Structure 1
């Protein structure tokens, strides 16, 4: 499928989605959000894709925020709809995707860009990355899950400070507080993420999918994460991957998982 604002490449069961609006520092506009949704949806259905890496084009920015010009004159109702639709089709969608998503954060990840990175399952930053939620400096608050996911990752106090000061943190600070998993030189960013993807792909796709669901359940209102884990654990016993994994262990060989 051809896209206007993103590039999608699949190689060796790893799909790379590149947000490609370099003149706008890869800012998220309505079309880009819709295209990202379509791409993630298609890749989730593909049997050839085991891991997705999400990054931005160029060396300056992962995503430098939302395209403010698109919503500067919105009404209250339009603002509510903007946040609700964005969370539904992209941010929550990515968080609950059955396939692991790694954010390769190259450069600025601000506002909606940081919110998108936080929706991914793993975050790796280049050493020149800068991250922040500057929305209050525009008279608004983060609307794509930032007020919820940032405290989950770095704690309430640090999140409050980042949001209320509208300040940015560098890659090392982001790593120290748990906002990102790793920091690497920019030239090594994609190859490092590819290495993580390779490690993931040695394991059972169906078990990984259930693990994502179980971990996310702990943060969903009305869900009991422990009960979700118990049920998912039990479901694993009915999969071909479980039979293959346990048989391979007993036979002292490497398992060959099919994702079934």
Structure 2
């Protein structure tokens, strides 16, 4: 079932709403290696708003040989995208484009909602904005030919599409800094070794491995998965004793629910 198909983004359900538990968001501009533009970001944000409440897993994938080669190069020209503000226009605004960037970031933030587990299926290039889109997801399954690079700093910019927080959390500050300021390529084997990729498989097995992971996630009771994700996401910002307290509170909610005593 297709819920959205516009501006290089397609949202489909594995089954009929409201019973579907898995949704797939596909970057559907293979001719441009799924290069991203402002319209695609608006469509990605809309995909998040259109998800039925029963969806538990969102798979993010790209058509063709590349997951996403990053931001469309037209963004770096003086004229930018037709009908859209250019980077020069954004820079000239009183807020230096802050409001526009916040809107762009909405395309990336909803993948980390506590009521969802998001899985990026990455093949070929995941460069710049493509890398950050893969980082927006909770989990990453990579084909052996996957290549990541954070090229923004090399262009005189910074990664501003929500990628810095998860990158530091996954690989640590020093390695994240080196990855960003050098702009170098990380291949799939290194990505797996440093904790960036959860699983690396032959390219022919990427879809099957992603389906298997989605099935494993949906096998556990939904409320327990939601509570566990919330616990783990908040762990870095809590002290040890605060995390202990959060665990007790979450377990109390689960026990009351299982006993039929939930409010």
Give the shorter-chain TM-score range. 0.7 to 0.9
Root-mean-square deviation (Å):
2.3
2-side partners of 1:186 and 1:236: how far apart? 39
Aligned equivalent of 1:72, options 75, 87, 96: 87
Aligned equivalent of 1:181, options 181, 193, 198: 198
Mapping of residues 10-159 of structure 1, within 5 Å: 10-11=13-14, 13-43=21-51, 45-47=52-54, 49-59=55-65, 61-68=66-73, 69=75, 70=80, 71-73=86-88, 74-75=90-91, 77-87=95-105, 89-159=106-176
Q: Report the Cα offset of residue 58 of structure 1.
A: 0.7
Q: Report the Cα offset of residue 161 of structure 1.
A: 0.8
2-side partners of 1:208 and 1:94: how far apart? 15
Q: Report the Cα offset of residue 97 of structure 1.
A: 4.2
Q: How many correspondences in the alignment?
A: 238
Structure 1 residues 67 and 78: CA distance shift in structure 2, 3 A? farther
Unaligned runs of 5+ in 2: 16-20, 81-85
Secondary structure of the residue that 1:208 maps to in structure 2?
helix
TM-score for the superposition, normalised by structure 2:
0.82
TM-score for the superposition, normalised by structure 1:
0.83
2-side partners of 1:94 and 1:182: how far apart? 19
* Counterpart in the other structure of 1:254: none
Secondary structure of the residue that 2:219 maps to in structure 1?
coil
2-side partners of 1:58 and 1:2: how far apart? 19
Q: Report the Cα offset of residue 40 of structure 1.
A: 2.2
Unaligned runs of 5+ in 1: 245-260
2-side partners of 1:228 and 1:67: how far apart? 43
2-side partners of 1:226 and 1:33: how far apart? 38
Q: State whether structure 2 residue 224 is matched by structure 1 residue 207.
A: yes
